[in-house]
A and B are shown apart, each in its own frame.
Chain A
């Protein structure tokens, strides 16, 4: 079924919140799914996989233990939604020449919108690379090298983020497809459902407060 970008962002945010991310991180996760979809990349699919994989894990297991040296998570692979936010928060440092190296990380493609945000914030070209994939972000757009399999790898053992040495032309992308398969959508919805209060008769009557007849 075809979904609008707004629907994908809203669903992504709710699903991420339902999976246990803080509201602020969930807002950025919704943007991440939207950003990928708008560029013809499988945003909802990437997102639902990371949420499923990390379901039940605490933030402390997913966050970089230290942001000095190589970033590593205590509990295995880094979460790109957590590391992406931390990356974008360090946009000025990256623009000034700092290179960030991520150790083992899941779904590296999900870092893209955060790196794009860092490029927007600082007005510089920023490069993100892992095995078989190089993405360069500028405030004007993104250029992508690598085949879909490399871009959508389930994990990468090492990802680098640095100021791009050369600004490159922005490559045109495929026409964005907004088709999301029913299974992906229903899995996202299962996470989102956790954020909705069960319907009760009392809530139906009081919570919205209409209360009066509408046949007037």
Chain B
């Protein structure tokens, strides 16, 4: 059944000044356009098949396994190396040198020679080399408490305890998933013309999806190896409750600043989806029912969401209150009115926390796949397309752009130490991105260009004082230090969601806001900050496994199932 689509022209998109604030980006939730969901919808639509051509892992959990995914034109294989890691070496940090398991996504199905070559490199991760036959490189560590509990239970012939599963949610967490030509792998540009990889982070999501199956196969295998007489496999319904964890530090934060076009395209797609739905004159009965069901499931999700971090605990309290408030409002007939979605959104804007507002935006997309799912095709980006500076631009125009995009920064007092408190730098130790205290630590000479607001304000001062020819070309010839932010300004003039409109070096910065924005677009759930700059998440929890994909709904897993009637 086609949903009638009314033009969103009369409803403007939410303004970048409102959307591109750190507090809002740091409250994003996964939605229909998230990359895990687009991957699974595609694989279902295209009837991908899966197999496990290699599983040679011993009773101690050491060996190799291969999981292959076969699409309409090409196959990809996750090659998994299983290791015996001493506990003292287990670290989620990028500076770790050994892991419980290491992986590469291979372009095709590997031969024994390929596996042999990779066995000398993949386990070393950053210290090894892969080739353009490999598309991603990643590693994962066990959640020690849950992994042990599950193997112990299965070996005894028992199912693992569902409370313990919910408390952690995954058997292993990935600690880095590298793509895009890292360590010799295939360049993104070399595979971006394949339909299955045109969307952002699709190879990385495929790699994590297959990793999930591997982690479950591994615990069942270990239980069987330990106690062949008594061991049982995991009950399929319980099995679905395992996702793959991910532990993420500051590395993601520079990424979204360094890929302005990509950021714009992600945000713009979601904003366009929201505008389309707000423009609908009424909510059909089926759509309203589906929304109500998803709202209840979102409440269950919030109840299952655990965090020990005080900031996230506060946000969760607000989110739960917001969802209850929203359920009451909807139960009172909010969807029966004219233009119900627009009214609902405006109601939420006035009454809910930002966390609750953004949850609502994601939920409003749920009933309208036919109306919004096409937007997923617009979320890739070729950063090169907007890279070159337009030197012919009159300087007055660049000044006006800065006033528009960086108005907040022109009003910021950059002589205040709090405005400049932080410094982004890269450590020579495995090139780990880090955040330092500008006035307490000696890192300023190594500062990365991740403070566009400050830089734009500095450029603006120099533009005002400039007495030469009134073109960007003439100005930049004598002010090369401003080329970086001049480029960003011109990009943002064309792509309004390309720039974060907040101070990324202030004393009040919470780097986890940047991380959450990106991870929500991945499709992550249960953000659990470990500090202001470190977060754990869950990926693919609830999703059908590869062997279940053909026979189940590929896109009905992002919120937990409805509670069963008593």
Contact = CB atoms under 8 A, between A and B. Distances in A.
A-B interaction: yes
Interface of A: 1-7, 21-25, 27-28, 31, 59, 63-64, 67, 82, 85-86, 88-93, 117-118, 120-121, 193, 195-199, 202-204, 206-212, 214-216
Contacts of A195: 426, 446
Interface string B181-212: 11111111100000000000000000000000
B105 to A, nearest CB: 15
A40 B388 CA distance: 22
B472 interface: yes
B557 interface: no
Given A91-B392, A210-B93, A196 B446 contact: yes
Interface in B47-92: 87, 90-92
B373 interface: no
Nearest to A85: B483
A91 to B, nearest CB: 7
B441 A202 contact: yes
A82 B480 contact: yes
27 contacts: A2-B184, A4-B132, A4-B184, A4-B185, A5-B181, A7-B182, A21-B480, A59-B480, A85-B476, A88-B391, A89-B389, A90-B391, A90-B473, A91-B388, A91-B391, A93-B392, A197-B425, A198-B428, A203-B427, A203-B441, A207-B432, A208-B434, A210-B91, A210-B92, A212-B531, A214-B90, A216-B143
Contacts of B476: 24, 85, 89
A196 B131 contact: no
A7 B184 contact: yes
Query: Top 7 A-B pairs ranked by shortest CB distance?
Result: A24-B483, A89-B391, A207-B434, A6-B181, A4-B181, A209-B533, A89-B473
Given A59-B480, A215-B90, A208 B432 contact: yes
A2 B131 contact: yes
Interface in B475-515: 476-477, 480-487, 511
B176 interface: no
Contacts of A5: 181, 187, 189
Nearest to A193: B428
B380 interface: no
B425 A211 contact: no
Contact of B145 (A67, A88, A216): A216
Contacts of A89: 389, 391-392, 472-473, 476-477
Contact of B390 (A64, A121, A193, A214): A121
Interface residues of B, number: 68
Contacts of A21: 480
Contacts of A1: 129, 184
Contacts of A206: 436
Nearest to A2: B184
B95 interface: yes
Given A3-B184, A24-B483, A203-B441, A214 B387 contact: no
B443 interface: yes
Contacts of B141: 214
Nearest to A88: B388
Given A4-B132, A27-B484, A85-B483, A197 B427 contact: yes
Contacts of B297: none
B538 interface: no
A6 B179 CA distance: 10
Contact of B480 (A24, A92, A121): A24
B116 interface: no
B179 to A, nearest CB: 10
Contacts of B429: 199, 204
Given A6-B187, A23-B484, A63-B477, A209 B87 contact: no
A208 B487 CA distance: 29
